[in-house]
Amino acid sequence: MNKETKNTYQKFKSLIEFAEDQFHVRAELIAAIILVESAGNPDAQAKTTSARGLMQITRAAAEDIGTPYELLFYPEENILTGTEYLARLIAQNDGNERRGVMAYYAGHGTINDGKETQLDRDAETYADKVYQQL
């Protein structure tokens, strides 16, 4: 983990470790996504989408997990929801963590059709940013 990711990890350590235990996603990956998505700001709100909170969870992802959208500014709800969603995406990509991270960026089911699109390239760039934080 780089220094910024370690700082993010330390700030939310108990929540990240709980999410890691619950959903079997590496703690350092959770911290890296938090850093890339919101720079560790629990009040982060996307300008062009419904994404909010530490892991920038969209309304659709929250509904998929069963978390009320209005709770996403709470770090515990956001980290647990985001990690569960990421774990599902990793599983849907045959356990391929990187493809799960790409799907986290692109949205459920959007990178699995075999056709390369701009969204696929953007998802690759996003995954690169996340993995650079490890």
Query: CB under 8 Å to 44, separation ≥6 — which residues?
Result: 37, 38, 52, 53, 54, 56
CA 72, chain centre distance (Å): 13
HEC-encoded secondary structure of 82-102: HHHHHHHHHHHCCCCHHHHHH
**Which is the catalytic residue, given 4, 20, 28, 37?**
37
Active site residue 77: no
Three-state DSSP class for residue 45: strand
If you search the block for the tokens 């989408």, which residue do you land on? 49
Q: What is the set of active-site residues?
A: 37
